[in-house]
Chains A and B, each alone.
Chain A
Amino acid sequence: MLIRGKAWVFGRNVNTDLIFPKIWFRPTYEPGEMASHLMVGIDEDFPKKVGRGDVIVGGQNFGCGSSREEAAAAMKEAGVAAVVAPSFGRLFTRNAINVGLPIVTSPRIDERIGPGDEIEIDLAGGTLRNLRSGYATRLPPMAEESLRLIEDGGIANYTRRVLAQRRDAGLKMPE
């Protein structure tokens, strides 16, 4: 999976209350609705600025705080190609993998990428390059299971497939 996109850079300890504020919580969402609130806790105009294929770069502990899946799901829906930071909140990491949003950890990467830089990420090959500055780094290997889940398009596709396999196998389904 090769990703190439323009970087949007954010700071340290950006919590999910900022990425997707609670006032926008809904029991169900219309298509495009989550994306229209992405990052508005920091920048109200961000949903208009961010383009499909762009890359979000965060500081240390990006996506900390609450479990809200909307934080990662809104990025996926906005067409964000990957999210990159030195470290992430654990629930954000999990949610990103589950919604099929490539999530990349790399030490001090926020110091190596500036706003608008063109970034290239090879998930399978484990490399990240800043095409503007020429900076290149190897990425710590991601668990195979997680990479597969991302490439699968997330946990929804995985679940659909396992349910179908169970039905095909004639396994007893709960009544």
Chain B
Amino acid sequence: MHAISKIIARHAERKSVEVGEIVNVVPDYVMLNDRGAARAADLFRKMGGERVFSPDNVVVVFDHHYPPIRPQDSVSQKRTREWIAEQGIAKFHAGEGIGHVIFPEKGYAFPGALIFGTDSHTVTNSALGCVATGMGHSDIASYLALGYNWLKVPEVIRFDLHGAFRPGVYAKDIALRIAQLYGEDAAPYLGVEFAGPLVARMPMAERLVLCNMVIDFGAKTGYIQPDETTARWLAERAGGRRWTAETTDSDTDYGRIVDLDVGEIEPLVAVPHDLSNIRKASDLNGVRIDEAIFGTCTGGRIDDFRVAASIMKGRRLAPHTRMMVNPGSRETYLQAMHEGLIDIMVEAGATIGVPGCGPCSGCHQGMLAPAENAITNASRNFKGRFGSPEANAYVASSATVAASAIAGCIVSPAQASSSNY
């Protein structure tokens, strides 16, 4: 069995499961964001739910619309605060950042765990060697009432990453390369494992970027075999947490194994309005940038701030370019302040917003006007994602976004930065 199957089996109280089988599972943690909590609580009541089955396993995070944007958000967040108090849900984080950034930070994600969330990017957590996947509101409402969910055991595809990065290339570029080579449905319904010598030396932040992006080529969950990097991450953040990593029995437990030499990858950009629509950053110098959108569950971690600040230090944004920065979490925000990274970005002309989803939630903190171009280190360039459906979003790495914000047009960060692992 693959480790993913073993994790699912354990949470189904089964010795083994088969790929394709549907089983009922009890997750370790279920994340509800502000929107998810409001919708799931409503559906939970409509399903006849009275008491949440296991409130200790529920984590509520206000990240999409926090602080509340419209009066309807204020009302719904007030109701959610009352509802979690009634239901005895104590794990509550408002204004502390994005669920998928704070889950690994606070030890909610750990090896061998099973995590569900009301958001597609819940897959991010799987970088810690767990199974993590997004679900719909009715799914989560049913979980709240019954204490379990149905889950189909996925086949697993493995990407073996090797080779040395060219200057200015990061994990984000690998994800874009996979979307380019294999499409936005490279891994429909599948588990996606990343392995190989490059992953072995990859810091946790970059692993989180890879696993964050698996949903954007169709996957159910990512997976990276826990190792010393994982153990160190957990020891520093959740020392008291007990966990058991699962291991995969053999190469026959994979549907497919794909070899990817990262040495052939250049800094890449997904151009409107499709993630598999990939071009080299160096070929897009003619694209004027009105706004750089920096942060999100893909690119809002301290490592992203370090890369951006190293490029922006002592420089200013192009006169026609604005930059919206939303730290992925409060912890990231504080650390970036302590290291002087926020100073560098503000001095360059960036606007710092609230830790949270920022413009990627689609309705605040830097929406685009028709015909405007934005470059972002978020994960999606869908039409209308950041405001007007007539605007254009380009998706790239944190380094490419920072370098382009300074240049005022899309540029490769190859001269300005190098990956250091």
Contact = CB atoms under 8 A, between A and B. Distances in A.
A41 B135 contact: no
Interface residues of A, number: 48
A91 B121 CA distance: 11
A145 interface: yes
A92 B38 CA distance: 20
Nearest to B53: A174
Most buried by B among A22, A26, A90: A90
A95 B49 contact: no
Contact of B218 (A18, A28, A90): A90
Interface stretch (A48-56, A59-67, A106-114, A128-136): A59-67
A65 B120 contact: yes
Contacts of A91: 120, 134-136
B54 A98 contact: no
Interface stretch (B40-48, B234-242, B279-287): B40-48
A121 B220 CA distance: 28
Contact of A41 (B39, B50, B72, B389): B389
B274 interface: yes
Contacts of A173: 50-51
A169 interface: no
A159 B142 CA distance: 6
A175 B189 CA distance: 37
Interface in A133-175: 143, 145-146, 149, 154-156, 158-160, 162-164, 173-175
Interface of A: 13, 15, 17-18, 21-23, 25-28, 41, 60-61, 64-69, 72-73, 87-91, 93-95, 98-99, 143, 145-146, 149, 154-156, 158-160, 162-164, 173-175
21 contacts: A17-B383, A17-B384, A21-B389, A22-B384, A26-B72, A27-B72, A27-B79, A41-B383, A61-B218, A65-B216, A66-B119, A67-B135, A69-B138, A87-B185, A143-B20, A143-B152, A155-B142, A159-B47, A159-B142, A163-B47, A163-B146
